[in-house]
Amino acid sequence: MRVDDAGFNAEPRVVTGLSRRETEVMELIADGHSNGQIARHLFLSEKTVKNHVNRIYAKLGVDSRVTAIGLWLEQAARGAPPRDTPKPTG
């Protein structure tokens, strides 16, 4: 088992412009985990998790954990692309 796969084998609920690690972190956020819990779960420092969270917020265009979770779960329910992904034209 690689460290970046530790404890996370599920397919993401939403396909986004997030990196694999950011997707792992966002899935855990959406499941209600704190930054400290995520850090322990993924064998990361809490500072690294905070950095991932800030990049996730920027990529999703949100400014809070609650908004990020709401957008994530809404997109998962609809199967819709995230805001930062261009929609096909035509």
75 part of a folded domain: yes
Domain, as residue range, for 74:
20-79
**pLDDT digit string (tens) for the chain, length 90 residues:** 344 444 444 455 555 688 999 999 999 999 999 999 999 999 999 999 999 999 999 999 999 999 999 999 988 888 755 555 444 455
Secondary structure class of 20 (helix, strand, coil): helix
Residue 4 lies in a domain: no
Q: Evaluate if pTM is beyond 0.85.
A: no
Residue 51 lies in a domain: yes
Here the CATH number for the domain that contains residue 25 is 1.10.10.10
51 contacts: CB under 8 Å, gap ≥ 6: none
